Amino acid sequence: MKNVDAKKPVFRFAPNPNGPLSFGHARGIVINGTYSKEHEGILILRFDDTDTTVKPPELSAYDLIPEEVEWLLGRPADRIVVASDRIPEYYQHAETMLKEGFGYVCKCSAEVFREYRESKSNCPCRDKSVENNMSDWNKMLDGTYKPGDAVVRVKTDMTLKNPALRDWPALRMQDTETNPHPRPNIGSKYKVWPLLDFQSAVEDHLQGVTHIIRGKDLMDSTRKQTLLYEHFGWTYPETIYWGRVKVHEWGGFSTSKMRASIENGEYSGWDDPRLPTIQGLKARGIQPEALRNFWIELGVTQKDISVPLATLFSHNTKMIDDEAPRLSFVRNPTEVLLQGQTPEFVGIPIHPNHPKKGLRNISLNPPTIFIESEDANGLYRLKEFADIGEHGNIESIDRSDKRPIIHWMSLTNSVEAVLIIPDQEEIKIVNGRAESNDYEIGTIVQLERIGYAIITEDGYLLMHE
């Protein structure tokens, strides 16, 4: 990374607060957050909430997102900036632009302007006088013009090789009567709103942002903004890009798609463990540190990549195994009545690597136990207890041969329970007997021979193996 030593670097993460954060947003938070921490800089969380029509913000996100950022990083963002609070600043810069002559009010429709863009020719509005532009600007502000009638454009050069850069739009009008901004103190206050490229560029400068790390889909944004910075005489921040990330098991994910699926009842909410949202991952027992390690390991390359969920899970396993108490969960249980001498109790370690954590004392009075139906064929050894022969006959307390070791649970120490398995699109429910315990909801346990699970109100939610 360049220029990090020169001064205190300033990074920013700038989502649209139009819903909860997704797995993909986590990358922006983790990468920017980690760099800012490593270089003793600061992290700005900025809400780019300047669209009230196409991707309208959601009020709850303003509180939720800072919490999610804090959960993920283990510390809050150093500064929070809300674009909709900063409209006067943007207006001021727009006016500077018009007065200095590097911006103009364009009254062409989007379609008409596309013609000019494609044919590399100047739009007639481009040559208007400053007075004319200011008068049109005021007509935008006071609502004489309506959405679609006029936009403010940045003068670049209509013959630029890259069509995306040709006199790009900086501010436009929105019907905030029909579509008011959800923040009550903003509401229908403004009719003219900056577009991302303008708002973000101006705000980055005002906040002293030194490094921008973002998706490569915004590469042309950088170029547009650089042209604006040249007009203003500012220096553009150092910029680094990352490519697209797909997770094998999830495919593409978009906020709007998820919203629709939640509304029609396919998912229980944004925190449904099947969803690639931060809340969903949290509900699924993914640790913030695992998520951080995952994104840091992927690094910041411009390649488009596709990763299996197993990579994230392996990071998570490293975080949780040491702490996860062991429990038995017997799927599709078969009852077995033990024959022969049985002790009153059998002690099984809570965690095999930490004997100090103690034992789970399993009562064998009555000597009725459950084992998984799949394990009920032939000889087996009950883990930490005894070799069992035909008809539940106890053959030996010591291990006498290589018969498979299986997990089990006594009638006394188990209760009916369900194992919830989020599997791609669907959720599988497996009935069984869970070892009795008094761990709190939210505790991460390891179900022996099955995998890690988190205790929920409804049952044991299987996280991963």
Partner RNA sequence: GCUCGUAUAGUGUAGUGGCCCAUCAUAAAGGACUCUCAUUCCUUUGACCCGGGUUCAAAUCCCGGUACGAGCACCA
Which residues, numbered 320-339, are part of the site for RNA (CB under 7 A)? Answer: 321-322, 326
Residue 96 tokens read as: 């500077």
Q: Could you tell me the CA-to-CA distances from 265 to 22, 56, 95, 142, 429 in Å, in that order?
A: 19, 22, 48, 43, 18
- 124, 208, 251, 299: which one contacts RNA (CB under 7 A)? 299
Q: Does 298 bind RNA (CB under 7 A)?
A: yes
- 385, 420, 444, 453: which one contacts RNA (CB under 7 A)? 385
- 54, 184, 344, 441: which one contacts RNA (CB under 7 A)? 54
Letter string b/e over residues 48-74, b meaning 16 or more CB atoms within 10 A of that residue's CB = bbbbbeebbbbeebbebbeebbebbbe
- Contact between 249 and 424 (Cβ < 8 Å): yes
Of 205-213, 215-223, 270-278, 279-287: span binding RNA (CB under 7 A): 215-223
- 25, 86, 117, 191: which one contacts RNA (CB under 7 A)? 117
Of 105-113, 123-131, 360-368, 425-433: span binding RNA (CB under 7 A): 105-113
Q: Does 19 bind RNA (CB under 7 A)?
A: no
Residue whose pair of structure tokens reads 């196409």 in the numeric block: 54
Of 165-173, 227-235, 356-364, 413-421: span binding RNA (CB under 7 A): 165-173
Q: Give phi and psi for 31, each to the nearest 5.
A: -65, -50
Q: How far is the CB of 405 from RNA (least distance, A)?
A: 4
Q: Does 16 bind RNA (CB under 7 A)?
A: yes
Residue whose pair of structure tokens reads 């390359």 in the numeric block: 301
Tell me 102's DSSP state: S
Q: Given the complex with RNA, which of 134 and 245 has the nearer CB atom?
A: 245
Q: Given the complex with RNA, which of 317 and 410 has the nearer CB atom?
A: 317
- 60, 129, 135, 162: which one contacts RNA (CB under 7 A)? 162
> Interface residues for RNA in 125-154 (CB under 7 A)?
147-151
Q: Nearest-CA neighbor of 436 among 329, 331, 297, 309?
A: 329
E strand or H helix at 197: helix 196-207
Binding-site size, RNA (CB under 7 A) = 75
User: Rounded to whole angstroms, how far apart are CA atoms 31 and 38?
Assistant: 11
Q: Given the complex with RNA, which of 37 and 55 has the nearer CB atom?
A: 55
User: Rounded to whole angstroms, how far apart are CA atoms 338 and 326?
Assistant: 23
Q: Does 193 bind RNA (CB under 7 A)?
A: yes
> Interface residues for RNA in 74-103 (CB under 7 A)?
none
Of 30-38, 210-218, 268-276, 409-417: span binding RNA (CB under 7 A): 210-218
CB count within 10 Å of CB 318 equals 13
- 352, 355, 378, 442: which one contacts RNA (CB under 7 A)? 352
Give percent helix, percent strand, percent coil of the chain, each to the nearest 5.
30, 25, 40
Q: Does 432 bind RNA (CB under 7 A)?
A: no
Residue 447 tokens read as: 């179900």
